[in-house]
Chains A and B, each alone.
Chain A
């Protein structure tokens, strides 16, 4: 299959998650919706079901969700609720609702109330003190709850073997994505910003094995390409999500390639693997404990600026000339860490821009001007 054909397939899936969902249902599979952040999809896979990431929508408008939500909440959470209310996600067999930020806390309740007659909601509260033994234990307690709820939906028990197998699958899936991120940074002439995003976005909708296979094939072709000199600029992207093709088109139009990312929807989600040996539940708990450098997670060494230093390092290693921060409107965790990110970037002499975005943005004129101006200073 040619690279182009493969890329188009990813694009199709990325643009039409609803079709993918319907197809799984037609095949008789059960599908579990997974809200951000850090839900153990391995458990869903081990239960023989398909995990489907829900990260809002770039085409919907908040309307029914207003019944539950004041205006000052991020569109990611509000549009997830919107899609649950308007029937878009009616085919799901269950949904996992993590609660790691102050928006997702009450949203877990709204979703459970709104879906009480429609959909089993699986509650998940991660610990912040996740590294000490008591934190690992609490993560396991929570994951065991998720496991039990998933078993109710699937109708069969999740064995340790199945979970270990699922861990392998997800490790493979993440490894392929990490490799792709690297290759995309090296081959911007082949992988545009728009395409890069589509490939990574498709990961949240496709069955993990099928996705990994497809992506490995694509990676093989990309690594066979000769490295060509890139005439444009390179940046690192940061933030919760930036998967709007119209917004990313501006990057392509200005020859700005994405060398690497610190984005929750992309690399933050795939940095850490789980151990493939030993107790699989403990492996998942340890995996969560090892997540780091994240605006959403407590840092035991909080008097240092580790997260921002990590991002600065990422920019330097990736060969990018600057950083673009996509600031989701009303996302206080990301906003809270901006001053120290800015400080570290400034100290390192790395230029950056902060672009305020949300998923209901339809006019990108302002963003376009800002990105162009930024390209000029790089």
Chain B
């Protein structure tokens, strides 16, 4: 997609890299590393200077690196049904010690290359080099990858290391684990669970706690049936914050640092506000970037919203976007003909496939539900509790519709593309009614397709292409009607 990367985007990438790198370092130094659900109040852990990793973000990365399937299957072999959310399956397999690794020859300790991988070799003029023997394009050996195999870190650690050969083998096997950051995340010493986005979290994190025999801190945010969060709910959330602080004090042996907490809250608010402003740039017509980019930046909101670096990086991106708007440029690699809201989490393993027909038809994603759903802004602990009740999947249908219709209006969408995400029951469970409301209230066409955020086996490309086509036709017809009315 976009070739040139703006300073803001670079900064955002670095923030996430650093979060992972810091955690690896902490783990190596014997410090505690926790795993947390994405909408657990990170401010609490920040107050204790804890290194925290985010399995949902990790699972998305693993899926985008095409290892979703092998990890999902590994979880299924552990007995977890393939019906369970793909993020949970990937994370549970990982917690159990399973890793996507690179195949190698145990004798020579050399990787075994998969001939189906790799990009075509190009000469100095950029032309594809043809292999005279086969008449087919030659592969660039640098881009070819070993076969992917499943490994298990606990199996590796149990290997003998007496002879030199054994040591070399063991070390090589350790290093063969795929080197991207999500596959090298440290195992947890404690887990932080907040089930505002789904109840699947509850048992997912309990399973991790059991597997690793580690403490679990649970902040339970019950589902809401009204737009307003009741005071009784706030009181319940607030009391749990206090209990969580107490538990964290026990785990870390430190006292809760009010100053650090306030500082983390400041950062979280600053990040949230900058995030919302960045999201608002999608209101420009044409938009200076694609909503798909927001999905990538979500990693920062998830893993680092309590850190000043994240706030600063989003503010930097904001400047880039202001500049782009001034210059009339966009990172979207095609002219924007239609604007749509993409409903749901994308199918990470299939991003290029998702993008293809959109690009072909000039469809830019200018609204994603995560925009408002991550903008937790608050002034005190009670408001913070209230804010954490307003997560995607924890709000009533009216609030859900209101969020979406708000961004659809502000970001001037012509249609809505709905991902019926096989992984996410709480999210997909009221989409049919929402679709009806979008069409009724906004007069825009909607199209739904079946997919999965992490398990590539649940995505049907042919169906997706047809549905996008249908949506494009409906949007065209709508536009033609509007034009005719205008005349």
Q: For this complex, into which size category does the number of interface residues on chain B fall?
A: 35 or more
A126 within 8 A of B: yes
Asked whether, in the complex, the Cβ of A110 is within 8 Å of the Cβ of B213, the reply is no
* Interface size, chain A (Cβ < 8 Å): 52
Interface residues of B (CB under 8 A from A): 78-81, 83-85, 88, 195, 198-200, 202-207, 209-210, 212-216, 218-220, 222-225, 230, 232-233, 235-236, 239-240, 243, 393, 396-397, 420, 422, 425-426, 428-433, 450
Interface residues of A (CB under 8 A from B): 67-70, 72-73, 99-103, 105-110, 112-113, 123, 125-129, 132, 134-135, 137-138, 141-142, 295, 298-300, 302-305, 327, 329-330, 332-333, 335-340, 342
B269: min CB distance to chain A, Å: 25
User: Please, could you name 9 A-B residue pairs with CB atoms under 8 Å apart, sorted by A?
Assistant: A67-B432, A70-B428, A108-B225, A129-B243, A138-B222, A141-B236, A302-B205, A336-B203, A339-B79
Q: Which of A132, A295, A302, A342 contacts B79 (CB 8 A)?
A: A342
Asked whether, in the complex, the Cβ of A102 is within 8 Å of the Cβ of B220, the reply is no
B36: min CB distance to chain A, Å: 15
Per the bound structure, the CA–CA distance linking A142 and B230 in Å amounts to: 11
Q: Which of B215, B225, B432 contacts A123 (CB 8 A)?
A: B225
Given pairs A72-B83, A102-B429, A332-B425, 5 additional interface contacts (CB within 8 A): A107-B429, A141-B236, A303-B213, A330-B425, A332-B200
Q: Which of A70, A101, A110, A332 contacts B85 (CB 8 A)?
A: A332
Q: Which of A132, A302, A327 contacts B206 (CB 8 A)?
A: A302
A74: min CB distance to chain B, Å: 9
Q: Which of A70, A125, A126, A132 contacts B224 (CB 8 A)?
A: A125
Residue in A103, A298, A327, A338 whose Cβ sees the most chain B Cβ within 10 Å: A298
A-B pairs, 8 with minimum CB distance: A106-B429, A339-B79, A134-B239, A125-B222, A302-B206, A335-B81, A141-B232, A128-B220
B255: min CB distance to chain A, Å: 22
A285: min CB distance to chain B, Å: 12
Per the bound structure, the CA–CA distance linking A342 and B88 in Å amounts to: 19
Chain A residue at minimal CB-CB distance from B215: A303
CB-CB < 8 A to A298: which residues of B? 202, 206, 218, 220
A113-B433 contact in complex given A329-B83, A339-B78, C-beta closer than 8 Å:
yes
A149: min CB distance to chain B, Å: 11
Chain A residue at minimal CB-CB distance from B204: A336
Per the bound structure, the CA–CA distance linking A134 and B235 in Å amounts to: 8
CB-CB < 8 A to B81: which residues of A? 327, 332, 335, 338
B478: min CB distance to chain A, Å: 23
Q: Which of A69, A101, A300 contacts B432 (CB 8 A)?
A: A69
Chain A residue at minimal CB-CB distance from B458: A72
Per the bound structure, the CA–CA distance linking A109 and B398 in Å amounts to: 9
A103-B235 contact in complex given A68-B430, A333-B199, A339-B80, C-beta closer than 8 Å:
no
CB-CB < 8 A to B207: which residues of A? 336-337, 339-340
A126-B222 contact in complex given A102-B426, A333-B199, C-beta closer than 8 Å:
yes
